[in-house]
Amino acid sequence: MTLSSTELLTIPLLPLLASIVVGLFGKRLQNSLSHWICCSGVVVSALLSVHVFLQVADGASFYGNFWTWIVSGDLVVPIGMMIDQLTAVMMITVTIVAACVHVYTIGYMHGDPGYTRFFSYISGFTFSMLVLVMGNSFFTLFFGWEAVGLVSYLLIGFWFKRESATFAALKAFIVNRVGDFGFAIGILAVWYYFGTVEYHEVFAQMPAFLARHYSLGFMDWHVSAITFICLALFVGAMGKSAQVPLHVWLPDSMEGPTPISALIHAATMVTAGIFMVARLSPMFEYSETALAVVTVVGALTAFICATIGLVQNDIKRVIAYSTCSQLGYMFVACGVSAYGVGIFHLMTHAWFKGLLFLAAGSVIHAVMADQDIRRMGQLRSYMPITYITMLVGALALSGVPPFAGFWSKDLIIEAASVRHMGWVSEFAYWALLFGVIFTAFYTFRMFFLTFHNSDRVPAKTKPHLHESPKVITVPLVILAVGAALTGWWGADILNLPGEGGEGFFGHSIFVLQAHNPMLTLEEIELNHSGGIWLEMGALIMAAIGIGLAWLMYYKPSDLPAKVAESFPGMHRFLLDKWRFDELYWRIFVLPARAIGSFLWQKADLAFIDRGIIHGGVIDTIATAAGRLRQMQSGFVYHYAYAMVLGLFGLVTWLMVGN
Amino acid sequence: MELNNALGMPILTISIFLPTLGAIAIWLLARNDQQVRWGALAVSVATFVVTLPLLFSFDTTTAHMQFEELHPWIRSFHVNYHLGVDGISMPFILLTSMLTVICIVSAWECITTRVREYMIAFLVLETTLIGVFAALDAVLFYFFWEAMLIPMYLIIGIWGGKNRVYATIKFFLYTFAGSVLMLLALLAMYFKAGHTFSILDLMAYPFDFTWQFWIWIGFFVAFAVKVPMWPVHTWLPDAHTEAPTAGSVILAGILLKMGAYGFLRFSLPICPDASQYFVPMMVGLSLIAVIYISLVAMMQKDMKRLIAYSSIAHMGFVTLGTFMFTQQAMEGAVVNMISHGFVAAALFLCVGVMYDRLHTREIAAYGGVVNVMPKFALVMMIFAMANVALPGTSSFIGEIMVLLGTFNADPAGLATSAKWVAIAAASSVILSACYMLWMYKRVIFGDIVHDSVKSMPDISCRELGFFLPLIALVIWMGLYPTPVLDLMHATVAHLVDQVSTSKLPAAELLSAGGSAIMPGGHHPAGM
């Protein structure tokens, strides 16, 4: 069964149209008409996505090209769509979260001078993200990839008067470009080796390609072509999905308005890297090295960012570090070949992380744009809906059943424990397990400090405390329901551990039989041979984390200060975010500036201009001309003398010559 | 000789001389500055309209010269007035006639002294520029090539900034020194190839390797200065900085393209073996342009100087693509040239818009411009993003095609595989973002710190008028480059074939360093 191409085209084009109309005529349309145009565009495309999802669940799919972008010699770059189970899951996730965020924005951005501009951006973002997930080639993926990067840049710097915001935007763009550099190289290599950039043609050629054992070398160093391609593409994924060492832009991106943090920097854009790896599973599966790198990077990020999250005091930064960390979990899932589980976590994460951000936004709205949790506390009595919904989000993030995060995170950890990749999977397993404690701890530290503990709200903010309006609370409730239910619903619908089959994702995700941790898990399930630790390990860790947070932060106590004092070095190190920013400043930014200045001042100006051109060429000509000029002295006897000498020479030459 | 001219009328001659005739008319008839302006606009628009049939009647299936005209000129030296265009030169004629209109509109209010002379200089410049791209006789080419220096010299020298005399002399000496060597190369070819200046005949003549080597060097110096390539690039930042806005536009938009066009028209087809031989050097210089110059661009304090350096970096992509001898890379190079014609021109116009208001080009004198000029900020954002080759803009098409073609190329004589060259060039993805967006951040974003910025009015309709067509072209070519690519497929395929076919006898081929040449294709076999 084939899907209707009109319907499929409508899904991304509606938000695009809304974005263009509001972007160009926003001022004339007024605020209310602008948000109606954008919201309705995105809501309709969300409904259509659900429709498409239901059809795909029944076995429908789509593959087709609509447009030829570039043709040159044997290079053909079409623009088309590939809709299968993986795409469908991404489409509903993106459009539903986007729809919630659009509605929420009506309340959150109320009264902002950039109101219509903001709507234009987020609708444009929805379009770009849909291109990214629905496309059928590396080029459409890259197009969407760069387009969401552009919108992200514009939105981080949305409040352009703030120096910190524009700096964060610049940083985000450049760090992402480092990733894109890798992505672009991956595309070059894909076209070189496969002669096409369309997914299904590349995937179809994989067996023939592998049989030829291509390798690339530089000097004496060689790497197999498939590993080279996968790693280059993965660098792109690391940039967009904020993985160590390219994670530094994501926490700073919190300078953007909160709806953006929810939509772009938590639920959708940053998950593009996970989507990419899952989409390209037919390639990654054939490179053990690439899979190992994905796993290690994911595990490192999950661990490092979770530790940084422990000490942050900015409510949004806590959640931002948690996002990096959770993205690490998803990458580990992909690395251990449990792509479906990774996408499942992506989906549940979109719900609960979107929820956490929007709830945080609701809090920030109430306390007059203050984001420091040290100046909050006891807010639950003022804003009960936000309190309850945030609790749901926090429980889901910590992995407490039956909330969404439990199902997906638990599966990731189980998959990592049963997949045998030597030290790689061993390391990933323990990093994730400890990550769970930290996650639960920082989540509830933030939660308790905000809603419980002592009331530390400054007196001048006090009168302003109130529950947010309906346009804010309704999306919160919708997302909370999602965060509560998508776990078991998804586990059921997506049928992940696969009852004897491929599960929901079918052929949209490719896993080698020998790699598949899901098969092992299923066997364990059937034999009940997993033991209590495999089943309950993550849950126990989460309980420890929440328990510790409860001890230290539920009631005011001096315990946190004491702990910090006992490990001053460690505390400082975490507060400094493992000193990545400082390191990059020293090894990239300052040297690049110094080299740039050197090349300009010394090489261009001093050496080429003053040295060679002035010193060499012009001075030589000037000196020679000066000498020649002296010959025209204007004295007749000089000329006469020269004439006589000349005559003498000529006569001599004639005599000797003959 | 059979002339290929589908229109049956001397359309190229009309395109070339219409601006000059118009200039004469303006000189004789216009009574005041306003009449001069409208007259110049009318002439430039008329020229643009006249060049349009070149595009619409162009036969994309052939690599032959089209719209040819041939008349004897100086019989005793076998010099002919021979014109014609192919898929590479034709787009540049249209680019020239279009940018000239934009230049004249952009100078409407900011040029207030010697308006008549200014407009006449621009129209004469247009004549010489179109002439360069249309000439098929080497002497005619040389004539236009040199003639172009005079109006450009005057434009920078009379209407330029404070340091204009230094910049003018530097510009003139550099380019003039370069062209002298080109003249020598032309004369050498004339005598060697049996008294002909016909470019098409010279392409067919089998020069041996030594001749090719020296002819190539002669051309190289002339073209490298014009592109400009490191280390003969230092005239460009000075010339750009001092030139009036429209001068920078035409300099970046067209003049820089002539060097790369020269490589495509002369060096590659006439000296294919020497071109192959010099690939490693050209690759090295191109990479220096991309990486070194980008770093220099990042540290500039003057906006125009920054964009000038960014132009050099982008031209690095053009020379790289030119010397990879694959269909994609070469088409990418031409697309890059056209695209850079739009983007760099627009960026110089952006700086011009700000300069008209504040009379400074210092980055530090601005900051927070978006607060008072939101429309302008959007326009400049579009071109800044085009300059960093964001997909959906024309520069992306050009750069990705050069990179694809380079990765896929198999040039002889390179110490390492072309793949590493492509990877090194791809670093432009990061570097261009660094210099461009850092500048954008400092100039446009932020709160207003200088009071002078507060009084900057947003762009006028006239200014929007010359930005809109450029925006449309950049995005149109970014999303639908097919019509432009179709123009050049046949010509580029023919050129790739020419440069890949050695002119040497088989024995000599081996001794010339085994430069056995294969056009790029899909034959991955490791690196």
Q: Do B526 and A185 touch (CB under 8 A)?
A: no
With H, G, I as helix, E, B as strand and everything else as coil, classify residue A64. strand
Which one of A143, A163, A604 has the shortest CB-CB distance to B391? A143
> How much of chain B, in percent, has pLDDT values that exceed 70?
95
Q: Which two tokens stand for residue B139?
A: 């002497």
B391 phi and psi, to 5 degrees? -55, 140
Under the banding of pLDDT at 50, 70 and 90, the label for residue A174 is very high
Contacts with A161 from chain B: Cβ below 8 Å: 368, 371, 446-447
Nearest to B446 among A150, A163, A214 (CB): A163
B187 assigned to some structural domain: no
Q: Give the Cβ contact number of residue A269 at 10 Å.
A: 27
Report the pLDDT value the prediction gives residue A388, as an integer from 0 to 100.
93
Band (B523; pLDDT cuts 50, 70, 90): very low
More confident residue, A244 or A619: A244
Residue of A nearest to B396 (CA): A143
The mean per-residue pLDDT over the stretch A221-236 comes to 90
B203 within some domain: no
Mean per-residue pLDDT for A275-299? Answer: 93
Q: Looking at the predicted structure, is the pLDDT value of residue B191 above 60?
A: yes
> What pLDDT, on the 0 to 100 scale, is given for residue A497?
55
Task: Residue count of chain A, please give it.
Answer: 658
Amino acid at residue number A207: P
Query: CA-CA distance, B392 to B388, in Å (whole number)?
Result: 11
Say which range, A489-493, A542-546, B507-511, has the weakest mean pLDDT. Answer: B507-511
Which chain B residues touch A592 with a CB distance below 8 Å? Answer: 295, 298, 434
Q: In the numeric block, which tokens belong to residue A255? A: 């300078």
Q: A219 pLDDT exceeds 70?
A: no
- A76-122 residue pLDDT tens: 999 999 999 999 999 999 999 999 889 888 888 888 888 899 999 99
- Alpha helices by DSSP H, listed for A135-162, are 138-156
Contact B479 A69 (CB under 8 A): yes
Residue B229, in any domain of the structure: no
A573: pLDDT confidence band, cut at 50, 70 and 90?
confident
The residue behind tokens 């990239």 is A588
CB contacts < 8 A (A, B) = 153
Interface test with A, best of B306, B372, B527 (most A CBs within 10 A): B527
- Compute the distance between CA of residue A401 and CA of residue B235 in angstroms, rounded to an integer: 69
Greatest alpha-carbon pair distance for chain A in Å reads 122
Q: Which residues of A touch B308 (CB under 8 A)?
A: none
Q: CA nearest A164 in B: which residue?
A: B446
Contact B527 A217 (CB under 8 A): yes
Residue A583: count other Cβ atoms within 10 Å of its Cβ. 12
Kindly report the three-state secondary structure assignment for every residue of B439-481. HHHHHCCCCCCCHHHHCCCCCCHHHHHHHHHHHHHHHHHHHCC
The larger pLDDT score, comparing residue A493 to residue B150, is at: B150
Kindly determine whether residue B482 and residue A174, on different chains, have CB atoms separated by under 8 Å.
Answer: no
The model carries a pTM of: 0.91
**Residues in CB range of A150: below 8 A, 6 or more apart:** A128, B385, B390
* B334: closest CA of chain A, how far (Å): 12
Are B392 and A593 in contact (CB < 8 Å)?
Answer: no
* CA B147 to each of CA B139, B179, B245: distance values in angstroms, whole numbers, following the listed order: 12, 11, 21
Q: What gap in Å lies between CA B160 and CA B168, rounded to an integer?
A: 9
B363, B442 contact by CB (below 8 A): yes
The alpha carbon of A635 is separated from its chain's Cα centroid by a whole number of angstroms, namely 82
Q: Of A72-81, A416-425, A483-492, B315-324, give the lowest mean pLDDT range.
A: A483-492
The two beta strands, A221-224 and A62-72, are: unpaired
Q: What is d(CA B397, CA B389) in angstroms, rounded to the nearest whole number?
A: 8
Condensed to tens digits (0 to 9), the pLDDT of residues A398-434 reads: 988 888 888 888 889 888 888 888 889 889 999 999 9
Terminus-to-terminus CA distance in chain B, angstroms? 47
Q: Tell me, what's the ipTM?
A: 0.90
Rounded CA gap, B258 and B245, in Å?
A: 20
What average pLDDT is seen over chain B? 88
Q: Which range of residues forms the domain containing residue B382?
A: 293-480
What residues of chain A lie within 8 A of the CB of B426, using their CB? Answer: 181, 184-185, 188
Which residues, in sequence order, are CB contacts of A523 under 8 Å at separation 6+? A529
Q: Which residues contact residue B204 at a Cβ distance below 8 angstroms, ignoring those fewer than 6 apart?
A: none
Say what percent of chain A tops pLDDT 90. 44
Which residues of chain B are within 8 Å of residue A150 when distances are taken between CB atoms?
Answer: 385, 390
Tell me if B185 is assigned to some domain: no
Question: In this model, does residue B520 exceed pLDDT 90?
Answer: no
**pLDDT score at A59:** 85
| Residue A161 to residue B371, Cβ atoms within 8 A | yes
Question: Using the beta-carbon criterion (under 8 Å), do B401 and A72 form an inter-chain contact?
Answer: yes
* Structure token digits, residue B298: 């990042």
Structure-token pair, residue B135? 């000439």
Nearest alpha carbon to residue B343 among B240, B214, B475: B475
Residue B514 lies in a domain: no
Tell me the nearest-neighbour CA distance from A150 into chain B, angstroms: 8
User: Which tokens belong to A290?
Assistant: 């690439």
pLDDT reported for residue A499: 46
Residue of B80 and B507 predicted with greater confidence: B80
Q: Which of the residue ranges A114-128, A132-146, A478-492, A520-534 would you say has the lowest mean pLDDT?
A: A520-534
- Which pLDDT belongs to residue B507? 54
- Please count the other Cβ atoms lying within 10 Å of the Cβ belonging to residue B38: 14
Q: In this complex, do A72 and B328 lie within 8 Å of one another by their Cβ atoms? A: yes
Residue A30: the pLDDT is: 82
How many beta carbons lie within 10 A of that of residue A368, not counting itself? 12
In a domain? residue B404: yes
DSSP conformation letters of A320-372: HHHHHHHHHHHHHHHHTT-HHHHHHHHHHHHHHHHHHHHHHHHHHHHTTS--B
Number of structural domains found in chain B: 1
A94 closest CA partner among A269, A333, A265, A274: A269
Which residue is associated with the tokens 């209310």? A32
Region B93-111: mean pLDDT is: 89
For residue B417, what pLDDT band results from cuts at 50, 70 and 90?
A: confident
- Can you tell me the distance from the alpha carbon of A151 to that of A177, in angstroms, rounded to the nearest whole number? 14
Instruction: Determine the residue type at A212.
Output: R
**Per-residue pLDDT tens digits for A111-129:** 888 889 999 999 999 999 9
The predicted model gives A270-274 an average pLDDT of 93
Question: Band of the pLDDT at B519, cuts 50, 70, 90?
Answer: very low
Question: Which helix (H) or strand (E) segment is A224 a member of?
Answer: strand A221-224
Written as six digits, the tokens of B421 are: 């060259």
Question: Helical H runs in B193-302?
Answer: 199-204, 209-226, 235-242, 245-250, 256-262, 268-270, 272-277, 279-298
For B422, the closest chain A residue by CA position comes to A185
Residue A613 with chain B: CB contacts under 8 Å: 170, 234
Convert the pLDDT of each residue in A379-390 to its tens digit.
Answer: 888 899 999 999
Residue A328 is predicted with a pLDDT of 94
* CA A473 remoteness from chain centre: 27
A74 and B299: CB-CB below 8 Å?
no
Predicted pLDDT of residue B260: 93
Query: How many residues comprise chain B?
Result: 527
Query: What does the radius of gyration of chain A's CA atoms come to, in whole angstroms?
Result: 31
Overall average pLDDT of the B409-418 stretch:
74
pLDDT digit string, tens, across residues B228-255: 888 888 889 988 988 898 889 999 999 9
Nearest to A71 among B332, B479, B485 (CB): B485
Kindly tell me if the per-residue pLDDT of B96 is higher than 90: yes
Please report, as a single letter, which amino acid is at residue B394: S
What average pLDDT score do residues B198-226 get?
Answer: 90
**Closest Cα in chain B, distance from residue A580 (Å):** 19
Which residues, at least 6 apart from A13, have a Cβ–Cβ distance to it below 8 Å? A127
CB contacts of A70 in chain B (<8 Å) are 397, 400-401, 481-482, 485
Residue of B nearest to A601 (CA): B296
Does a cis peptide bond (omega within 30 degrees of 0) precede residue A251?
A: no
- Taking the C-alpha atoms of residue A130 and residue B38, their distance in angstroms, rounded to an integer, is 48
Q: Write the CB contacts of A373 (distance below 8 Å, at least 6 apart in sequence).
A: A313, A314, A315, A318, A446, A449, A450
Chain mean pLDDT for chain A: 88
Angstroms from A243 CA to nearest CA on chain B? 18
Do the domain assignments include residue B226?
no
**pLDDT for residue B521:** 45
Residue B397 lies in a domain: yes
